Amino acid sequence: ARVSPRGAPVRVTLFTAVLASVIAGAAPLKLIAELANAGTLAAFVATALSMMILRMQRPDLPRPFRTPLWWLVGPLAVAGCLYLFWSLPALTRWLFLGWNLVGLVVYLAWSRRHSVLARG
């Protein structure tokens, strides 16, 4: 993305601010909070899965922070987050899925023409 002379991505930041303002003005606060919770839970699942995969595939990596009993904490974290995600209203789960699918389509469409592999 383009950045200003000070190194800030001004266009993307303004676009995000306008989009967030429209959503905040149009959607009920309860729904926004539920979607934020869904995103946070998805991030925690990704983190726990990544931690477990790295522990198995790269046990030699230096770790300034170590999760105790990772083989127990990881699966419990994933299970707990999935349980909480499933406890969210069905509309929230569907909107979260839809929003992520839109993001994936945009990402794949953009990267198809702009990735390093597409140029080479």
∠ CA 92-97-98 to the nearest 5 degrees? Answer: 95
Q: Say if 24 falls within a structural domain.
A: yes
What's the token pair of residue 48?
Answer: 């726990």
What's the token pair of residue 87?
Answer: 């406890």
Global confidence as pTM? 0.79
Q: Say if 98 falls within a structural domain.
A: yes
Spell out, as residue ranges, where the chain has pLDDT lower than 50. none
C-alpha pair distances (Å), 48 with each of 39, 57, 62, 82: 14, 14, 18, 12
Domain enclosing residue 105, as ranges: 10-119
> Quick one: which H or E segment has residue 9?
none
Q: Say if 39 falls within a structural domain.
A: yes
Please tell me the predicted confidence (pLDDT) of residue 118.
67
* Sign of the C-alpha dihedral computed for residues 22, 28, 33 and 35 taken in this order: negative
Please tell me the predicted confidence (pLDDT) of residue 3.
85
Q: Say if 2 falls within a structural domain.
A: no
Please tell me the predicted confidence (pLDDT) of residue 65.
87
Tell me the per-residue pLDDT of 43-65, one tens digit each, with 9 for 90 and over. Answer: 999 999 999 999 999 999 998 98
Sorted by sequence, the CB contacts under 8 Å of residue 20 that are 6+ apart come out as none
Please tell me the predicted confidence (pLDDT) of residue 27.
93
Alpha-carbon span 55 to 60, nearest angstrom: 8
Please tell me the predicted confidence (pLDDT) of residue 1.
63
Q: For 30, which DSSP code?
A: H
Please tell me the predicted confidence (pLDDT) of residue 73.
97
